Amino acid sequence: MSSQKRYLVKFLPGGESVKVPHGYNLRQAILDCKLNIDSSCGGVGTCGRCRVQVLEGEVDTTESRFISKSDKEKGFVLSCMSRVKSDLTVRLPEARKSRGSITIGGFDSTGKDYAGISTDELSKVEIEPWIIKENITVEAPSLSYGTSDLYRVKKSIMEKTGVQDPAIPIDLIRKLPYTLREKDLNVSVIIDLENSAVIDISPGHGDKRIYGMALDIGTTTLVMYLVDLQSGKILDIQSGYNPQIKYGEDIINRIVYANRKGGLEHLREVIVDSINSMVKNLVKHTGVKESDIVSVMIAGNPTMMHLFYGVPPRFIREEPYVTVANRFSNSPAKDVGIGQLVNAYVYCVPGVASYLGGDITSGVLASGMYREEELALFLDLGTNGELVVGNSQWMMGCSCSAGPAFEGGGVNCGMRASEGAIEKVVIDEDSFKCSVDVIGEGKPAGICGSGLIDIIGEMYLKGVIDRKGKFNRDIGNEFLACEEGDCHYIIVEANSSATGNDIYISEIDIENLIRAKAAVYAGIRTLLEEVDLGINDLAKIYIAGGLGKHLNIRNAVMIGMLPDISLDRYHFLGNTAVTGAYLSLLSAEKYRQSVKVAGDITYIELSVNMKFMDRYVAGLFLPYTDMKDFPSVEEHIYSIYKKPGPAGPGKKDKTS
């Protein structure tokens, strides 16, 4: 019996190749070769990011609005919508080279901030170590005192630390008789005081200095701190992109991938491999011994935590939307795949519900809103758009599923906030030419979330688009290019870009961004309405997430994404997930408080909330259906334009 014919698929420019059966998905063949391919939609053909060029051979492909007639003639296809029919040679798009936006450096570097909190402030955090290393001498046995080794070790630990009957794992008990006697009953013991557990017992009395790691597993990025647990000093930082991105930029697409055969194991493997690489780099840069790292505190959204622990996340996306766990058991690092940390335990900041995780608990902890009397709103402007409102008396939270648009996903020329990203845009009101500011010193390679908010606001103010986000085609805009009825606005021309191609925004991009901003504002209004509050009742709005660092608040208000209140009520906090994990790592009180914060937040599910849907639909205009929600924007528009109409501000009055 003959086997099914297999075809050789070769990828350029690297020359990697794989043999696949007839009809095999081309995107999956790329992933099988461990190559990167953008695919924010998870491979269902709705983002257009996985374009490749077939140089030789045949594929069976589905027509797509992302592939123009001229592109098709050149062999371009969406890899996710193409199946192999013969041997192929395929050119992949050049990967954008970018560096993470978090600077690597010591805790005491001049001017450095961590999550918007200065090093001076962090250095004032009261360090209350709850994982300690103690040197003890165990009482010797005798014929008249024949108690067990285990009993005598526990007795010595209790006398030294006050911990009653500490739990000692069986793997340590197996080695205990030899560990004790190697250095004449002198041992070093690492103890978790909060959980009354022994992490390690080693022969002899040694240096008491021990280290921990704070880790944020984000949907888009990973950030890890290496911390001296006794001084609180941050020795070094590693950051990078979550490698799961190529299987879907949002959590829903990753859950879908995890449900496939072998999908969960694969997603877990790539994230654990990245974490191990970060650990290796931190150890190499600092000279800290892996054996002296005793704890890892992780914060992440529920889906990321499920994938890290290898727990099926399927029912997070199926009604009634429940997690397997909001707080996972403390585990030896080697049991969750971080095998090089032989003496470490892994802990996690507890989450609240299916779409409100430990990253948000960390954020509330870092902001301090849980202990303040004044009313505050905490807003994490990431892929999932989580919100918490409240004070020391009560808290309520939700997730508005903003999607990846403000992190560059689902946008043709979008990219994350890294070197080469356009972060600010100003449009000349006469020529419609864009002036841009770029992260780093090179040419622009794409446009990140803050730049996308700027360009939407600027296009609306300058009349390039109307209130529905559609291009005004009759204003003499030379930078508006149209082909087969589809138009896009050129932000940077090809000869000035790092990619050699135009950097532009299309009406489809604008539509995705308007949906994202509508979800954020609808979430804020709905959450406040649930507790009978209004926008003006908020004393502070804390903005967390990578987008906040470069965000122009005025433009975010202008497009109807953030509430129209005094700008001095807004406070940027940056990456609060890793900051909260850091605080929990250093302080027993903060660790206990994180558990309390998670328990104090009441979660509401917006996907079945009709008020949210009404607000969302109303937000599909710039800035909003009812301009009275945005009085300062309305006033500004009227000061510039003569007759704001129902479809947009109208044309500029050149005589004024």
- Report pLDDT digits (tens) over 458-471: 999 999 999 999 99
Residue 653: which pLDDT band, with cuts at 50, 70 and 90? very low
Residue 485: which pLDDT band, with cuts at 50, 70 and 90? confident
Q: Give the residue range(s) of CATH 3.30.420.480 domains in the chain.
A: 209-348
Whether the per-residue pLDDT at 105 is higher than 90: the answer is no
Highest mean pLDDT among 61-70, 552-561, 636-645: 552-561
- What is the percent of the chain where pLDDT is above 70? 92
Whether the per-residue pLDDT at 164 is higher than 90: the answer is yes
Instruction: Answer yes or no: are the C-beta atoms of 317 and 344 closer than 8 Å.
Output: no
Once rounded to an integer, what is the mean pLDDT over residues 312-319? 96
Q: What is the pLDDT of residue 417?
A: 80
Task: From 188, 191, 148, select the one nearest 166 (Cα to Cα).
Answer: 191
pLDDT in tens, 413-451: 988 888 899 999 999 999 999 999 999 889 999 999 999
| 40-49, 155-164, 184-193: range with lowest mean pLDDT | 40-49
Whether the per-residue pLDDT at 99 is higher than 50: the answer is no
Residue 641: which pLDDT band, with cuts at 50, 70 and 90? low
- Taking the domain 131-203, which CATH number applies? 3.10.20.880
Instruction: Answer yes or no: are the C-beta atoms of 457 and 465 closer than 8 Å.
Output: no
What CA–CA distances, in Å, run from 434 to 184, 430, 463, 472, 505? 75, 11, 14, 16, 12
Task: From 487, 391, 497, select the one nearest 443 (Cα to Cα).
Answer: 497
Whether the per-residue pLDDT at 118 is higher than 60: the answer is no
3-state secondary structure of 638: helix
Residue 65: which pLDDT band, with cuts at 50, 70 and 90? confident
Whether the per-residue pLDDT at 112 is higher than 50: the answer is no
Q: Give the residue range(s) of CATH 3.10.20.880 domains in the chain.
A: 131-203
Q: What is the pLDDT of residue 3?
A: 60
What pTM did the predictor assign? 0.87
Strand extents, DSSP E, 305-429: 331-332, 345-348, 376-380, 386-390, 395-399, 421-427
Whether the per-residue pLDDT at 42 is higher than 80: the answer is no
CATH architecture of 209-348: 2-Layer Sandwich (3.30)
Q: What is the pLDDT of residue 642?
A: 57
What is the longest distance spanned by two Cα atoms in the chain?
Answer: 107
Residue 656: which pLDDT band, with cuts at 50, 70 and 90? very low
Compute the distance between CA of residue 341 and CA of residue 199 in angstroms, rounded to an integer. 12
Once rounded to an integer, what is the mean pLDDT over residues 466-480? 95
CB atoms within 10 A of CB 164: 9
Whether the per-residue pLDDT at 246 is higher than 60: the answer is yes
Q: What is the pLDDT of residue 108?
A: 31
Q: Give the residue range(s) of CATH 3.30.420.40 domains in the chain.
A: 368-404+514-629
Residue 649: which pLDDT band, with cuts at 50, 70 and 90? low
Q: What is the pLDDT of residue 548?
A: 66
Task: From 20, 605, 530, select the one nearest 323 (Cα to Cα).
Answer: 605
First to last CA, the chain: 83
Q: What is the pLDDT of residue 110?
A: 28
pLDDT in tens, 605-639: 998 899 999 999 999 999 999 999 999 999 988 88
Q: Give the residue range(s) of CATH 3.10.20.30 domains in the chain.
A: 6-91
Compute the distance between CA of residue 321 and CA of residue 598 in angstroms, rounded to an integer. 18
Instruction: Answer yes or no: are the C-beta atoms of 575 and 545 closer than 8 Å.
Output: yes
Mean pLDDT of the chain: 89
Once rounded to an integer, what is the mean pLDDT over residues 627-655? 68
The answer as to CATH 3.10.20.30 being correct for domain 6-91 is yes
Q: What is the pLDDT of residue 114?
A: 39
Once rounded to an integer, what is the mean pLDDT over residues 292-304? 97
Sheet holding 234-241, edge to edge: 234-241, 221-228, 211-217, 293-300, 345-348, 331-332
- Taking the domain 368-404+514-629, which CATH number applies? 3.30.420.40
pLDDT in tens, 215-238: 999 988 899 999 999 899 999 999
Residue 249: which pLDDT band, with cuts at 50, 70 and 90? confident
Whether the per-residue pLDDT at 111 is higher than 60: the answer is no
pLDDT in tens, 497-554: 998 989 999 999 999 999 999 999 999 999 999 999 999 999 999 999 867 667 889 9
Report the C-alpha dihedral over residues 413, 415, 420, 424, rounded to 10 degrees: 80
Whether the per-residue pLDDT at 10 is higher than 60: the answer is yes
Q: What is the pLDDT of residue 125?
A: 64
Q: Bigger pLDDT: 612 or 240?
A: 612
Taking CB atoms within 8 Å and a gap of at least 24, the contacts of 200-204 are: 200/172, 200/294, 200/343, 201/153, 201/168, 201/172, 201/175, 201/176, 203/179
Geometric angle at alpha carbon 425, from 421 and 431, rounded to 5°:
130
Compute the distance between CA of residue 556 and CA of residue 507 in angstroms, rounded to an integer. 19
